[in-house]
Amino acid sequence: MLAQRLITAAVGIPIILGLILLGGAVYTVAAGVILVCGALEFFAATDPEDLERARGAAERPRLPQMSRPLYRQRLPAYAGAAAVALMVAGADSGFDEWTGALALAVAVVFLIVILRGDPQAGLRDWIWISAGVAYVGFLGSHLVLVRDLDDDGYWALLAVFATFSTDTCSYFVGRAIGRVHVAGVISPGKTLEGYAAGLAGGFAAVLLLNWITGLDASAGEIIPLALLLPPVAMVGDLAESLVKRGAGVKDTGELLPGHGGFLDRMDSVLFTAPLVYYFVLWAIR
C-alpha cells in the first residue's frame, strides 16, 4: 500500500507539475478529465438507489465494491459528469461563461429528472446530482480560474503543491507517531499529531513556494494565506471522508494505486483552489 502510494506520487507529481506550467488547452482538458472522473466516482459511491438497496439488505454492511463501476451508471450521473465538463470549459472561457455553465447544468439536470415523471425519485436524484456538480464541478473548476491568475501558473502550483504538502505531512506523521485520534466518527485514522504536522508542513510549503516561484507576495500577504491553506485543506479531506463514511465505501475509486480514486487525491485541492483564487483577487491584487 505505501509502496504503491509512493510510486503513484513519483509518477504523478512530475505530470501535474508539467501540466500546470504548460497551461493552456492541455491543462484545461487534463483538469476536465480528472474532474469528470472524480464526479463519476462521487456519483458511483453515492447513488441513492444503491444506498437504499444497501439499507434494505438484511443488516449486511456495505462494502467498497458495492459502489457502481464508473462505466455503468444511471443517466443522471452521466448528465452530472457532462455538467462538470461544461463548467470546466466555461471557466476557461471567462467568468460569464462559467456562471452560465452552472445555470445550464442546474436546469438540464432538472429537465432530465422531470422527464422521468417520478416526483419522489426525481427530487432525490436532482439533489444527488446537484450536490456532485457543486462539490466537484463548481469547486473543482477553480483549478482553471487559479491557473489563469498569472501567465506562469505559479499560483496554481502553490495551491496544489502546498495542499499536497499538508496532506503528506499529516499522513506520514500521523501514521508514524499519531496517538490522539480526532474526528473518529468521520475519519478514524486522523490524529492530532498528524494535523499539527499538516499545519506546519502546509504553512512552510506556502512560504517556500512563494519564494521559489518568485511570486514575491509580501509577508503581510503570504503569511495569512499560509495560515489559512492547511486547515482549509484538512476540511476538504474531512468533507470527502464524510461522503465516503455516509456511502459506506473505503475509497471512491481504484484508478490511482495506493491513493484510491481521483477524488481521493483531489479532495483537499477542491477547497484550497477556491481559497487561493479569491485570496489573490481580494487580498493581494
Kindly list the distances between the CA atom of residue 80 and the CA atoms of 18, 104, 263, in Å, as whole numbers in the listed order: 29, 11, 15
Q: Tell me the backbone φ, ψ of residue 214, rounded to 5 degrees.
A: 75, 20
Report the domain count for the chain: 1
Give the best-scoring range by mean pLDDT among 3-12, 47-56, 199-208, 240-249: 199-208
Q: pLDDT band at 56, cuts 50/70/90? A: low
CB 251 within 8 Å of CB 65: no
Greater model confidence, 67 or 74: 74
Collect all residues with Cβ–Cβ distance below 8 Å to 56 and sequence separation of at least 6: none
DSSP state of 57: S
Q: pLDDT band at 201, cuts 50/70/90? A: very high
Residue tagged 496554481 (cell numbers):
156
- 47-59 mean pLDDT: 72
Predicted confidence at residue 60, as pLDDT, reads: 47
Predicted confidence at residue 236, as pLDDT, reads: 96
Question: Which has the closest alpha carbon to 202: 179, 174, 234?
Answer: 234
Question: Is the per-residue pLDDT at 61 higher than 70?
Answer: no
The helices-and-strands tally (H runs, E runs) of the chain is 13, 0
Give the span between the Cα atoms of 111 and 127, in whole angstroms: 13
Question: Is the per-residue pLDDT at 158 higher than 90?
Answer: yes
Predicted confidence at residue 67, as pLDDT, reads: 58
Question: Which has the closest alpha carbon to 255: 21, 71, 84?
Answer: 71
Q: pLDDT band at 127, cuts 50/70/90? A: very high
Q: What b/e readout covers 52-83, taking b as 16+ CB neighbours within 10 angstroms?
A: eebeeeeeeebebebbbebeebbebbbbbbbb
Question: Which has the closest alpha carbon to 1: 177, 250, 280?
Answer: 250
Tell me which residue range forms the domain holding 37: 2-284
CB 208 within 8 Å of CB 248: no
CB 271 within 8 Å of CB 139: yes
Question: Which has the closest alpha carbon to 48: 124, 132, 137?
Answer: 124
Question: Is the per-residue pLDDT at 57 higher than 70?
Answer: no
Helices 24-46 + 75-93 axis angle, to 10 = 150
